[in-house]
Amino acid sequence: MDRLEEFIRGLPKAELHLHIEGSLEPEQMFAFARRNGIELPFADVEAVRAAYAFSNLQDFLDIYYQGARVLLTQQDFQDLAMAYFRRIAADGARHAEIFFDPQTHTERGVAFPVVAEGLLAGMAQAQAELGVSSKLILCFLRHLSEDEAFETLSQAEPYLDRIVGVGLDSSEIGHPPAKFARVFAAARAKGLKTVAHAGEEGPPDYVYQALDLLEVDRIDHGNRALEDDALTERLAREGMTLTVCPLSNLKLCVIDDLVVHPLKTMLALGLRATINSDDPAYFGGYLGQNWTRTAEALDLSRDELVTLARNSFTGSFLAPDEITVHLAEIDRYVAGFA
Ligand code: HPA
Ligand code: ZN
């Protein structure tokens, strides 16, 4: 391990943009398929990996929804979550705010409580065994209707004390944030935080809509906001956290090469950017890989890395006193890293 990797590994950090279904590794896909008696359209793990060549978001989503079909039982969801937490604990993560897509499962007859109870059990296990804390964010699939989002929110009702917020994911173009303004208002009225994918493939206008119509607490991705100077200035002025996902952007052809990734520019513009993995089993790396590969490609300085680590906690939904503890831990770590 070189010095950069070592510094990054020990740096206390949080992950704020992770789809738990996107942490399903091909090996695990086969194991779950076997124990659940499900036929996969792939001969072996190599064939699955070979299928992970995407030219855009939709290419990926098609295979991602197909993969999720192996998840049936509460134990599957708990095991999936725990495998993810083991990975990020090894990457020096202290906290994660994870997305789940209930509609991907309820549509196939897997009941909301099976999914929620399984994930919450995995989260409790991660806290107990790894010391990694976490929060759960329910994402609405934006290619489905507003009515279906409302139905999902009502299914979540018994769990709202254990769900920190709602998000918006799936196919961005053609499904603007405006479509979900009312269900987000209902979620906010219940005391939930709100986040939305915006500006990954969609135009800057979708970022404005996420801010003005959904009143989000964070923007997921946000890359295309940089095309609009007034929007960029507003995001910086308002201290809006952007959950940026470098290896995802590379795999989904949002960028051609990591060396042209906008992360360093975002920091220079005063944007509160963070580094995240999005769907690590599909995009070639977990949190640590996203950090090291981006740091190398963009030649990020020690100060920039520390800023990114701080942003991952200040942008989290942890309580202010918990954030203070993590920031102090970062300071101690940096002071002690000779
Ligand atoms: N974008 C939109 N929807 C998603 C993604 C993503 O990167 N990953 C899982 N669902
Ligand atoms: Zn995402």
Taking the CA of residue 172 as reference, the ligand 1 atom at the shortest distance is: 2
Q: Is 314 helix (H, G, I), strand (E, B) or coil?
A: helix
193 pocket-lining for ligand 1 (C-beta < 6 Å) = no
pLDDT at 1 over 90: no
Q: Based on the number of CB atoms within 10 Å of its own CB, is 151 exposed (0-12), middle (13-18) or buried (19 or more)?
A: middle
Question: pLDDT: is 1 or 243 the higher one?
Answer: 243
Indicate which CATH number applies to the domain containing 41. 3.20.20.140
Q: Which domain holds residue 250?
A: 3-336
The total domain count for the chain is 1
d(CA 195, CA 184): 9
Q: pLDDT band for 338, please (50, 70, 90 cuts).
A: confident
**156 C-alpha vs ligand 1 centroid, how far in Å?**
21
Is the pTM of the predicted complex or chain greater than 0.95?
yes
Q: List pLDDT tens digits, range 306-318.
A: 999 999 999 999 9
Which pLDDT tens digit goes with each residue over 3-29?
999 999 999 999 999 999 999 999 999
Residue 198 Cβ contacting ligand 1 at under 6 Å = no
Q: What positions carry a catalytic annotation?
A: 200
